[in-house]
A and B are shown apart, each in its own frame.
Chain A
């Protein structure tokens, strides 16, 4: 299989699909791969698509920038399980020796990537937030936060190939699809049988309305200063007006005002919205670790010395029960024509 020009530097992206729905991070990664490709002479951007009856997803991969899709279609790949996916993709890596292999840092991607890297004995950088090609030696510079976001580390994999990285969803921009783009589909034979898979899915207990605040573009978060569970209705109204979601700091969750799935911070979730509105949150470091990656932070607090003001794009010293209703009126007044009604 290695017959075709092994010298072409291939930049691969894993296309994650479940129930035939592609995780958007896969397309974000194709966009990133395109940019990397511009700095890596002669390179091509290709997509790896395992699953069952997923050939219909290949055109989307072309539209987002892949010139070729490796389609691994087999009933054992219908539902994601570590072993068959790791075996199938590792075999493909061994056959084609890509230069770079990018995988979304999702639950599935992080489960899979470590297994592939171990099978093919290469380096893997986890949960990156930035990718570039080192112009001097054409290797991948994969940057990631570590020590709870206190330190950034740029990781290099000098000699082993592929250079693998998982990349956090939502940190890289979504590319514009090119409607007419086409490419080549390479159908990859894979003959693992169900009897050879040691893990079976018995059932999936679907979470109803599981809030996925990690993906929210706008978050309106409340802290102890909100005063009680009733106050979150107001935050929800602002979040709805902005097309966002409500989150909370730890004391709020500990007090039972909000569900733990909405907790932002060290022991909760890390979010990177475009806009983070912190209402009545003092901003302890454990909270800041989870939200300081937001593009813009608007903080509202009655205490002018609240640490949240140190990192806020704009801090408002005032009563959230006065400021937020006024914001809601403003936002609702201008949602559809883009003009503020002042």
Chain B
């Protein structure tokens, strides 16, 4: 069994703050983490390997040299091989250009050791696009199952798997041929603490570094800014939602406070408060 997991190092968006003076994003001091969904994708791959009694888990990421940290965390988690795809020429890539690079990389990895499953987190918490996984599956021309929550069966000999996927109506149980690409929810596999031997192995591990020209010759027209149809026209911090007044029951009494609260409720144009005959406010 050979699983490839594509991960991303992201700023911990729960720690992203806005500079009140300039209204811009403060990135300094914001810890870089492995995208939370991706760690579950790695764990799912490792558990699948254990379940099938062996195999290899390869982790790849496209990013700056600093993303090595994220790869090493995946090695601690049980990945056997880690590849950093890093080159200034990849900079400014949107999801189309990113999916091109990752798909070509996976094709190359597949040529060395055939890949049975590719895993992605369902989305990255910085961009939240959820587009790269579907893009890679499309480029590789393999089945795509997004929002996967469980792998019920994985039959290497029969080249088939049964995967559970979360949809609005419930859980969809799908049968697919292999190889397949999954984008996963956190439920796919709870993350376990890395045992000491893994930590030691990771401390000694050096991820491979692939550039835009070696070992894969990426098409310069399809990478980085050049390969990206979308550009950011402008970026701005949403006008900070200013708070209204705060009123206190102790000061004004319950009746006044509730009347003022009702005014807010009415102005919200809540449907139930609109009768057929009359209009509120």
Name the residue of chain B whose CB is nearest to the CB of A18: B169
The reply on B194 being an interface residue by CB < 8 A is no
Rounded to whole Å, the gap between the CB of B146 and the closest CB of chain A is 5
CB pair B268–A274 under 8 Å, yes or no, is: yes
The reply on A315 being an interface residue by CB < 8 A is yes
Interface core residue of B134, B232, B237 (most chain A CB under 10 Å): B134
A338 with B134: in contact, given A123-B94, A147-B16, A198-B177 (CB under 8 Å)? no
A313 with B134: in contact, given A150-B237, A157-B230, A318-B248 (CB under 8 Å)? no
Rounded to whole Å, the gap between the CB of B231 and the closest CB of chain A is 6
Rounded to whole Å, the gap between the CB of B98 and the closest CB of chain A is 11
CB pair A107–B147 under 8 Å, yes or no, is: yes
Rounded to whole Å, the gap between the CB of A172 and the closest CB of chain B is 16
| A111 contact from B13, B146, B264, B273, Cβ within 8 A | B146
The reply on A193 being an interface residue by CB < 8 A is no
Q: What CA separation (Å) do A336 and B274 show in the bound complex?
A: 8
A207 with B273: in contact, given A148-B125, A199-B176, A315-B247 (CB under 8 Å)? no
Residues of the B chain whose Cβ atoms lie less than 8 Å from the Cβ of A297? 241
CB pair A315–B257 under 8 Å, yes or no, is: no
Q: What CA separation (Å) do A169 and B149 show in the bound complex?
A: 23
What number of A residues sit within 8 Å (CB to CB) of B? 97
The reply on B173 being an interface residue by CB < 8 A is yes
Interface core residue of A117, A121, A127 (most chain B CB under 10 Å): A117
The reply on B261 being an interface residue by CB < 8 A is yes
Residues of the B chain whose Cβ atoms lie less than 8 Å from the Cβ of A121? 96, 229
CB pair A242–B174 under 8 Å, yes or no, is: no
The reply on A182 being an interface residue by CB < 8 A is no
CB pair B249–A298 under 8 Å, yes or no, is: no
CB pair B146–A339 under 8 Å, yes or no, is: no
Rounded to whole Å, the gap between the CB of A288 and the closest CB of chain B is 8
Main SS class of interface, A: mixed
The reply on B58 being an interface residue by CB < 8 A is no
0/1 interface trace, chain A 219-236, chain B, CB 8 Å (1 if under): 000000000000000000
Which range contains the number of B residues in contact with the other chain? 35 or more
The reply on B171 being an interface residue by CB < 8 A is yes
CB pair A243–B16 under 8 Å, yes or no, is: no
| B134 contact from A118, A159, A201, A318, Cβ within 8 A | A118
CB pair A207–B170 under 8 Å, yes or no, is: yes
Residues of the A chain whose Cβ atoms lie less than 8 Å from the Cβ of B230? 123-125, 155-157
| A304 contact from B129, B248, B262, B271, Cβ within 8 A | B248
0/1 interface trace, chain B 243-281, chain A, CB 8 Å (1 if under): 111111110001101111110111111111111011110
Interface core residue of A18, A107, A122 (most chain B CB under 10 Å): A107
| B202-258 at interface with A (beta carbon < 8 Å) | 228-238, 241-250, 254-255, 257-258
A115 with B273: in contact, given A147-B25, A149-B238, A312-B244 (CB under 8 Å)? no
Residues of the A chain whose Cβ atoms lie less than 8 Å from the Cβ of B125? 148, 266
Residues of the B chain whose Cβ atoms lie less than 8 Å from the Cβ of A198? 142-143, 176-177
CB pair A298–B265 under 8 Å, yes or no, is: yes
Q: What are 6 A-B contacts defined by CB distance under 8 Å?
A: A82-B137, A82-B146, A110-B134, A154-B233, A315-B247, A327-B258
